[in-house]
Amino acid sequence: MQRIFADFSSFEGTNCYCSTESADRIRRALAGQPLHAFHFIGTGDYHYQTLFWLERVAEPFSLVLFDHHPDDQEGAFGEDLLSCGGWVARARRLPCLQTDVWIRDAADFPALAALPDLPVYLSLDLDVLSPQYARTDWDQGAMTLGEMQTALRALAASRRILGVDLCGGNTPEKGASPEDLALNASTGEALYGIFRDLI
């Protein structure tokens, strides 16, 4: 599975909320990129980009979300703005999405074994991890990197993985230190390594 860097933070109208025009611009930019890949999509402010990948799935599937936040809130500004906190609510309207599972900590792992026998799209947010393993600009969970890797390996061994995306972290503009950036990069590489050899 190849890696793709799909960071559109330089586009206007995309930080935390995404306007209809900007969403269409991102969709066009992604059109030539493969769904079956490991997509690095920037900080959690852009997690809504997952929706654009899910829109391209043309068969029944499950969504598995590793995230400290549910991202399923109804939009505060109606349908015109897609948000990093509401994209899951939009995704649930997609005709091919059959079920979604939110993993916050190791106590939620049994839900993975109960998934239907369908291919899976994985969306990973670094904020599910303890600050020992990632540094983000959102409040974080307590999952260890080892716990996350174990769960993801088991899932990759039992289900066909349609695609994966990873968001989270921080930026120097928001106070991230070089050490923070290095830690996040190392964790991102460790997670990508689980899927690197998937065909």
Average pLDDT over residues 61-89: 74
Q: What is the largest CA-CA distance in the chain?
A: 43
How much is the pLDDT for 154? 96
Q: How many domains does the chain have?
A: 1
How much is the pLDDT for 126? 95
How much is the pLDDT for 78? 56
What's the token pair of residue 131?
């600050």
46 or 64, greater pLDDT = 64
Name the percent of the chain lying above pLDDT 70: 87
Backbone angles phi and psi of 82, in degrees to 5: -85, 140
At which residue do the structure tokens 């065909």 appear?
199
- The answer on pLDDT for 72 being more than 70 is no
pLDDT tens column, 112-168:
999 999 999 999 999 999 999 999 987 899 999 999 999 999 999 999 999 999 998
Backbone angles phi and psi of 179, in degrees to 5: -65, -40
CATH code of residue 70: 3.40.800.10
DSSP 3-state assignment of 120? strand
pLDDT tens column, 180-198:
999 999 999 999 999 998 8
Average pLDDT over residues 46-68: 93
Would you place residue 9 in the very low, low, confident or very high pLDDT band (cuts 50, 70, 90)? confident
- The answer on pLDDT for 66 being more than 60 is yes
How much is the pLDDT for 32? 87
Burial of 45 (0-12, 13-18, 19+ CB in 10 A): buried
The predicted model scores a pTM of 0.90
Note down the domain range covering 60. Answer: 3-195
Residue count of the chain, please give it. 199
